[in-house]
Chains A and B, each alone.
Chain A
Amino acid sequence: MAVGQKTIRVVIGKVGCDIHERGALILARAFRDAGMEVIYLGRYQTAEAVAKTAVDEDASVIALSDHTGSMRYIAKETVDALKKFGGSDIPVIAGGLIPKKDLPYLEKLGVTGNYGPGTPLETVVNHIREVTEIDWPKGEVPG
């Protein structure tokens, strides 16, 4: 690998009690094939553990996966925890089964992507390249 080259480092995790790991694993593989380094945390994480890991690992981005309809809570906790550990400049993207009605809330929180089933892998990969290239301002969310 070339000297001085920047590498995108992605932390992938599933927070809470959600066994559906296939999507996260497929994404891990897709990110790897796109030349990224994937720090794979797998299932049954807490939002705080994901956030602290991202800070310790100097992650370029956090990718959250959830299939229980709880993304709004998971994302909020993760964003809050990032603030606590001094990593609020780390962008957060999400995917899985996300209720449509939660999308505006997540966008407002600064959590982007919010992909559902059937999204081409390329779309997600390109989104990561976009969010890691810019300083990502995360909005304050009431409540």
Chain B
Amino acid sequence: MIERTLDPKTAKLVDDMLQGNARALARLITIVEEDGEDAHLVLGQLGPTGRAHRIGITGPPGAGKSTLVNRLTSCARQNGLRVGVICADPSSPFTGGAVLGDRVRMTEHSMDEGVHIRSMSTRGSLGGLPTTVHGVIELMDASGKDVILVETVGVGQMELDVMASVDTVVVALVPEAGDDVQAMKAGLMEIADVFVVNKADRPGAESLLVGIRSMLDLVCHGDGWRIPVLATQAENNIGVEDLYQQIWEHRRFGLESGSFEERRAHQRHDEFTAALQKMVTHQFMQTVAADPQLAACVTRMNAGEISPYEAASEVFRTVSQKLR
């Protein structure tokens, strides 16, 4: 895995993608999504990335996330920015299949060469986004997008992967999402850089806005950013321009205060650890498979004769000696 290099065909795809070719980008996303050996090789060849601003949109099912993403895409396009959109929907726990329906709300952008929309299924991940999303963001960034919008699956209180993947997290809620106590709970309510109460024409919008604002009055964001709470009606295109401006305001604030770079550094480190873990596990498992004594140890563990911890220690000791 570590010694291999990219085959010429895939290397050509990387070149084409860096030139802005949509088909090449699409193919590479598939490779990264499949998360095989080539995925690492491709991601290792992108050169410097990080230019694009990465925006996450999360919230419960039916909050209007796709419609918000659609409107935000229009705002970015009006400012001449190139947009990448990643929209996630759940995969079936039984068959692995998925119906990816977020694009249905974004058809007005389907013919725009400046917009690349990619639907992804979570492929078994439980954090609201597929585990490979970081790589896909990197690809879109490398292909020259200025803004990347990442829409999570409809989440509950605890699917928070988005905060590890983007620069600005928008949490979208709808009226009747609960009372003040609900707003105080840990999890989803803690990760917002911008709050949106969408479908704000519905009854209960005002009390939810008040509930969130009074909750925010009790907390202090470490970096001093005052989290805005906005009312929108994405369907009617009301309040979205303001949301767009607040997202950029958050970026400006982060760049000045240093919290932007701090967050990016955390994310890079997490991604590095994840990549290293994958490589090490792969290397170890290959060594185990090639060594009859270690393979027998794993078989005994599977049968319950020794514990998983004993087996892991045994394998770790033997393989690290071998690698020395």
A-side interface mostly: mixed
Which chain B residues (104-150) contact chain A, with CB distance < 8 Å? 104, 107, 110-111, 116-119, 121, 123-124
Distance in angstroms between the alpha carbons of A53 and B107 in the assembled complex: 10
How close is A31's CB to chain B, nearest CB, in angstroms?
A: 7
Residues on the B chain within 8 Å of A33, using CB: 92, 95, 97
Contact A49 B111 (CB under 8 A): yes
Which chain A residues (10-63) contact chain B, with CB distance < 8 Å? 28-29, 31-42, 45-46, 48-49, 52-53, 55-58
Contact B123 A57 (CB under 8 A): no
Given contacts A1-B91, A55-B23, contact A32 B119 (CB under 8 A): no
Can you name the residue of chain A whose Cβ is closest to the Cβ of B33? A7
Stretch from B24-32, B192-200, B254-262, B315-323 at the A interface: B24-32
A/B interface sample: 29 pairs, CB < 8 A: A3-B34, A3-B35, A4-B34, A4-B35, A5-B34, A6-B34, A7-B96, A9-B30, A32-B95, A32-B97, A32-B98, A34-B95, A35-B95, A37-B91, A38-B99, A38-B100, A41-B103, A49-B107, A49-B111, A53-B110, A53-B117, A55-B22, A55-B26, A56-B26, A57-B26, A57-B118, A58-B23, A85-B22, A87-B23
Contact A52 B111 (CB under 8 A): yes
Residues on the B chain within 8 Å of A116, using CB: none
Distance in angstroms between the alpha carbons of A56 and B119 in the assembled complex: 9
Given contacts A40-B100, A41-B103, contact A56 B117 (CB under 8 A): yes
Contact B98 A37 (CB under 8 A): yes
Can you name the residue of chain B whose Cβ is closest to the Cβ of A42? B104
Q: Using C-beta atoms within 8 Å of the partner chain, give the interface range for chain B.
A: 20 to 34
How close is A42's CB to chain B, nearest CB, in angstroms?
A: 5
Name A's B-contacting residues (CB within 8 A): 1, 3-7, 9, 28-29, 31-42, 45-46, 48-49, 52-53, 55-58, 85-87
How close is A133's CB to chain B, nearest CB, in angstroms?
A: 16
Determine if B101 is an interface residue (Cβ-Cβ < 8 Å): yes
Contact B101 A40 (CB under 8 A): yes
How close is A20's CB to chain B, nearest CB, in angstroms?
A: 17
4 more A-B residue pairs beyond the given contacts A55-B26, A57-B118, A58-B23, with a C-beta to C-beta distance below 8 A: A32-B95, A39-B119, A49-B111, A57-B26
Residues on the A chain within 8 Å of B27, using CB: 58
Residues on the A chain within 8 Å of B95, using CB: 32-35
Residues on the B chain within 8 Å of A3, using CB: 34-36
Contact A57 B119 (CB under 8 A): yes
Given contacts A39-B100, A86-B23, contact A56 B118 (CB under 8 A): yes
Contact B97 A58 (CB under 8 A): no
How close is B279's CB to chain A, nearest CB, in angstroms?
A: 12
Q: Which of A35, A42, A87 contacts B96 (CB 8 A)?
A: A35
Distance in angstroms between the alpha carbons of A29 and B107 in the assembled complex: 21
Can you name the residue of chain B whose Cβ is closest to the Cβ of A89? B23
Residues on the B chain within 8 Å of A45, using CB: 107
Residues on the A chain within 8 Å of B99, using CB: 28-29, 32, 38, 40
Determine if B271 is an interface residue (Cβ-Cβ < 8 Å): no
Given contacts A32-B92, A35-B96, A39-B100, contact A85 B110 (CB under 8 A): no
Given contacts A37-B98, A58-B26, contact A53 B35 (CB under 8 A): no
How close is A72's CB to chain B, nearest CB, in angstroms?
A: 23
Can you name the residue of chain A whose Cβ is closest to the Cβ of B23? A86
Distance in angstroms between the alpha carbons of A41 and B101 in the assembled complex: 7
Q: Which of B29, B37, B111, B124 contacts A1 (CB 8 A)?
A: B124
Distance in angstroms between the alpha carbons of A4 and B41 in the assembled complex: 13
Given contacts A42-B104, A52-B110, A58-B30, contact A36 B97 (CB under 8 A): yes
